[in-house]
Structures are given as C-alpha cells and as structure tokens.
Amino acid sequence: MPQEFPSITDLMLQMTSSLEKVARSIDKESANRFLEEILNAKRIYLAGAGRSGLVARAFAQRLMHLGFESYVIGETITPGFRPGDVLVAFSGSGETRSVVDACETARELGGIVCLITSTPNSSIGRIADCIVEIGNKPLKDQGLPSDFEIRQLTGQYRSISASFAPLGTLFETAALVFSDAVVSALMEIRQCTPEDLKSRLANVQ
C-alpha cells in the first residue's frame, strides 16, 4: 500500500488560522508605539537568537531597503550603540541570555529597547520601553526551559500540536509576518514605492 502522508495543504491552513488569531490579538496601541519608536530612532539595532534571530536579520534588511540605518547585533561591522538608538529584540521567551544581555547594555548606554515577544512578563519585558505581544503558549506552561540556548543543548522543543507549526515556531512565523506588516506600514507613512526599495537592493553578490 502507498504510504499516506499528512496533508500539507491542511497543515498550511491550520497555520494560517493560527496566524489570523495572533494578528487579531495584537494590541493596536502597542503596535503604533513600536512604529513611532522606529520612525524616531537615530539608528536601529536588531537582536535575536535561533529562528528569532533570522527574523531579526530579515527585518534589519527590510529597514535598510526603506532607508533606515539598521544593524544586526553581533555582526563584525556593527558600530557602537549610542544614546537615541533603538534596539529591537525578537524573543518569544524574553529570557534568552544573549538577547537579555544586549538589551541590558542598550539601556545602560541610553538607548530605547523594543521587545517583540510572546512573554511580556520576562527579563527583557521588565526593562523594555515598548512591548508588542505576539500570542503563543508560554514555554513554562509546556514544561520547557525558557532559555533558547538551553533548549538547543537539550533538544527540547514545543510539540507540533502546541502551535500547528514544526518545533513550535508559531511565534517566529507570526513575528516575521508582523515585521513585514510593519515594513508595509512604514512604506505608506514614508510614501515609499517598490522602486525606492529596489534602488537599495544588493547588486554585488
């Protein structure tokens, strides 16, 4: 008998349904405050670990395409952080040690900290100036360690059923969609055209 596979279409639709619920739960005032911080920033720094780090990098790239001065924490060419700069942290748990350290340093240097998370009551959440909560089941409620590095070392992840996404990546997927929506909003506010973005695309690769 031919092997039966799960329906990719059905799984995508389940994920889409979950993303819609997350989108509708986002607080509009918090999202608008986040837009204001981005627009008022002298420079924008992005931080995240694992898949959240990939989302942070994607957002940094789009901000650069929009004409913002954006950098990724940890890169060799990232300049020193200064007062008036904004650090945007992507962390579902709000407890990932490397991201916590970056946020604490940014605050000490007189910067603004914005957190995109599913756990506002967290180490980063307690020092953040702006928090956008992207719904998800907290790690502690699933019996998993909150620190990303510990989960990586021990191989502990959320179950698929917890979020309709492999390795429990609803937060990362929703965060990516959220950041792309922010880019679309910034394009409207700055009256940017697709041609404006294309002019800043990499042409030496």
Dist. CA 73–CA 48, nearest whole Å: 8
Helix ranges, 47-169 (H)? 50-65, 97-108, 148-154
Dist. CA 122–CA 133, nearest whole Å: 12
Tell me, yes or no, if 172 is annotated catalytic. yes
Residue of 133, 172, 188, 195 marked active site: 172
CA torsion through residues 96, 98, 99, 102, sign: positive
**CA dist 59 → 16, 45, 110, 151 (Å):** 21, 10, 23, 24
Contacts of 27 (CB under 8 A, 6+ apart): 132, 133
Dist. CA 124–CA 103, nearest whole Å: 7
Q: Which residues are catalytic?
A: 172
